[in-house]
Amino acid sequence: MSKRLMTTVVGSYPVDVDALSLIRSYYESEEVKWGYYIESAVGDMVKAGVDIISDGQTRDSFINIFIRRLEGCRVRARPEIIAPIRYKEGIILDDYKYVKNMITSTTRLKGVITGPYTLAKSCVDYYYYDTEKAAYGFAEALNEEAVRLQGLVDYISVDEPFYSQELPVYSKELLSTLLRGVDKPSVLHVCGDVSGIIPDLLDQPVDMLSHEFKASSFLLDEFKEYWDDSKMICLGVVRADSQVVETVDEIKTHIDKGLNVFGDRLVHVAPDCGLRLLPRKVAFQKLSNMVEAARLV
Amino acid sequence: MFSFTKEQKVLDIKGVRVGGQPGVNPTLIITGFFFKSKPDRGLAERYIPGLISLSGKLGNPVIPDFFIKREEYVDDVVEIIKEILPGDHPFSVDIVDPAVKVKTLERLHEEDMLSRTIYNSIHVGVTSKEQEALEEYKPEAAIVLCFNPKDNSVDGRIEVLENSAHLNDKGLLDLAKEVGVDKLLLDTAAMSPGENSGAALAAIPVLKEEYGYPVGCAIHNVVEKSTWLKNYDDVYRVVDASSNSAVPLFGGDYVISGPVEYYNTVIPLVAWFDILVSEYTEGYFGVEPSVNHPRRRLLR
């Protein structure tokens, strides 16, 4: 069992951005360099012993990272859609190339893409005035990124937190559009209370489901009711919304509960969500304890 | 040529009027001292009288911008301003280091010179100590630098005004309001070639329409970073000076024109473009130039 249980992250990791040093680069007419922040996030994940890491999503919120680089979108006071959404250039590819050059072959990579529905719901839409059309616009545009990204990573994860609030009837088709031509194992991450949509989640066109089983531990019982072994599971084992660091024993106990429900289909353990909002020391300790607990299982 | 639907603010900074609809007030020229050197009294004595005289003749107001690199330069610069810049003439202090900024505000307060001071600048790297100093020692006006380390598009400039691209806990406009500085000049943050350098110009009409504040930039910085152009000695200085013409053409209100040594070229050049803009905006939009506009000074 322990050989198959790997540790991973959901996406974001905290960084302390020094705005003054970024301003100095402006005065020196130097290009803004972000490598330091990627290195700090990736360095922590690797040092904690996480098997499958992300780029840390250090540049921005998980929404703005994508909105800034898609044609037809812009970020002002809020992210906005102002014209047809189209793919124009790599969005996170350069950061993943940077990470790939930093790590050894024993560390694996998870490419994290914010889901089209979440992007559509997070933008002020001045063009489509229609969430479904906007979501398909994002899905088509991000498909190109996903296809290019899979050459750099071992997993493609789609982050759709909005699904826990409302699952659109077209969710399967949307995800299929986004993942068209993607051969790498795919993950759908939905945080929040997904108890009302478990059968739909089990029907999504992905290989693995990832949820916040720690903060919403009742989900274990809810999943038991519908569990059909059709998906692999990434179990959330530490909270992303609390600075209290879970002990190794507590995490191990939680993993055991997950194994009772999912058996050997439980293949990954992770924090409940991105850790961006936690203090860096807390985030690191949570990851370290998670890794140790997974080794004890 | 532009005319904006948003009401345009005209700032009066110790008698220097800046802002408004294009064609009304002449372009303000903010010209640099000591950018690459220690405070140099001789340089100030050599250039300030001529600068002010030419400004009076052509109509374009000038404001000297004093770069203060180190804390130990603060006293010397303040003394130079006190002794060489006449009467109540406004000036700006251009400082990167937050500790130097705080010290300068304190000194200017002690010398009762804050009412002549343009603070250059408020930006996303403003520290809490700097904010406290700004609240305590309020300058007459401030330049707000719209540099967004996350996004060099025109929209990125708006984003930092609205929310500092989340690099600070509030947007730059709210920050300025909170410290009590309400005379603001927006700087569209000229970037190097290859980093969307044209956006600094494109942002001028966008920011004016969006906010109504006076807008300008140091577009000559783009020329300075165009290394290939330095292979053409004869042209380099021409382009450096003429780059300033783009600001009035894009509807802007002020230029940060680079080293004072070139004022003799820059001021007449900007005046010439101001006349061009004024002739059209009066004819098409019915906007009349102010009494000090170069068009009135030189053509009527």
Residue A199: count other Cβ atoms within 10 Å of its Cβ.
Answer: 10
pLDDT, position A4 = 73
Alpha carbon of residue A106 to chain centroid:
20
* Contact flag A20-B127 (C-beta cutoff 8 Å): yes
pLDDT, position A2 = 46
pLDDT per residue of chain B (300 residues) written in tens, 0 to 9: 899 999 999 999 999 999 999 999 999 999 999 998 899 999 999 999 999 999 999 999 999 999 999 999 999 999 999 999 988 999 999 999 999 999 999 999 999 999 999 999 999 999 999 999 999 999 999 999 999 999 999 999 999 999 999 999 999 999 999 999 999 999 999 999 989 999 999 999 999 999 999 999 999 999 989 999 999 998 999 999 999 999 999 999 999 999 999 999 999 999 999 999 999 999 999 999 999 999 999 986
Q: Does A20 reside within a domain?
A: yes
Å between B98 CA and nearest CA of chain A: 9
> Rounded to the nearest 10 degrees, how much is the dihedral formed by the CA atoms of B250, B256, B260, B266?
0
A60 inside 8 A of chain B by CB: yes
Q: Does A132 reside within a domain?
A: yes
The residues of chain A scoring below 50 in pLDDT are 1-2
Q: Torsions phi, psi of B215, nearest 5?
A: -130, 145
Nearest beta carbon to residue B149 from set A22, A61, A74: A22
Q: Does A1 reside within a domain?
A: no
* Contact flag B125-A68 (C-beta cutoff 8 Å): no
CA distance linking residue A185 with residue A210, whole number of Å: 13
ipTM higher than threshold 0.90:
yes
Given a contact cutoff of 8 angstroms between Cβ atoms, the answer to whether A87 and A144 are in contact is yes
pLDDT, position A72 = 98
pLDDT, position B300 = 62
pLDDT, position A3 = 58
CA distance linking residue A175 with residue B41, whole number of Å: 68
CA distance linking residue A77 with residue A166, whole number of Å: 25
CA distance linking residue A294 with residue A7, whole number of Å: 7
Is omega for the bond preceding A216 within 30 degrees of 0, making it cis?
Answer: no
Q: Domain limits of chain B? A: 10-299
CA distance linking residue A50 with residue A287, whole number of Å: 7
A19 inside 8 A of chain B by CB: yes
B145, β-bridge pairs: B187
CA distance linking residue A283 with residue A45, whole number of Å: 9
* Contact flag B224-A29 (C-beta cutoff 8 Å): yes
- DSSP character for B27? P
**pTM for the whole structure:** 0.94
Name the CATH topology of B10-299: TIM Barrel (3.20.20)
A17 inside 8 A of chain B by CB: yes
A3 inside 8 A of chain B by CB: no
Given a contact cutoff of 8 angstroms between Cβ atoms, the answer to whether A136 and A103 are in contact is no
A101 inside 8 A of chain B by CB: no
Among B69, B94, B100, B123, the residue to mutate for chain A (most A Cβ within 10 A): B123
Counting every residue written for chain B, the total comes to 300
Burial pattern B278-298, b for ≥16 Cβ within 10 A else e, equals: beebeeeeebebbebbbbbbe
Å between B136 CA and nearest CA of chain A: 22
Q: Provide the domain count of chain A.
A: 1
* Contact flag B150-A61 (C-beta cutoff 8 Å): no
A271, β-bridge pairs: A238
User: Which residue matches tokens 């003394």?
Assistant: B79
* Domain membership of residue A123 as a residue range: 6-296
Q: Tell me the chain A residues in contact with residue B98 when contact means C-beta distances shorter than 8 Å.
A: 20
Å between B188 CA and nearest CA of chain A: 12
Which chain A residue lies closest to B155 (C-alpha atoms)? Answer: A76
